[in-house]
Amino acid sequence: DIQMTQSPSSLSASVGDRVTITCRASHTIDTYLQWYQQKAGKAPRLLIYGASTLQRGVPSRFSGSGSGTEFTLTITSLQPEDFATYFCQQSYSSPPAPSFGGGTKVEI
């Protein structure tokens, strides 16, 4: 099974800050990497798929990069509504065995 490791597990930031979250895969996953945002008490929301493609309706201050085993999610100019927990997820495994990272909580 492919293990996904996120860092940091939490971070404190201010409105307007640039935030970077890292996700590492235990094996190469090409660009089969997604990022999700989850607010308290809500279901996750897909932000980015294929490591760098923004899902429709997601603000352009979110961006993703990386391939192979190391990936990053960047939020430029953090907004109040961006305070949430972010998860990465790989979909490379065949047969399918998706796995998620441990999450990064972005706090004020």
Partner 1 sequence: QVTLRESGPALVKPTQTLALTCTFSGFSLSTSGVSVGWVRQSPGKALEWLALIDGDDNEFYNSSLRTRLTVSKDTSKNQVVLKMTNMDPVDTGTYYCARISGYELMDAFDIWGQGTMVTVSS
- Give the binding site for partner 1 (CB under 8 A): 1, 31-32, 34, 36, 42-46, 49-50, 55, 87, 89, 91, 95-103
- 17 or 93, CB closer to partner 1? 93
Distance separating alpha carbons of residues 59 and 52, to the nearest angstrom: 13
- 17 or 54, CB closer to partner 1? 54
Least Å distance, CB 16 to partner 1, is 28
- 16 or 57, CB closer to partner 1? 57
Q: CA geometry: angle at 81 spanning 5 and 19, to 5°?
A: 45
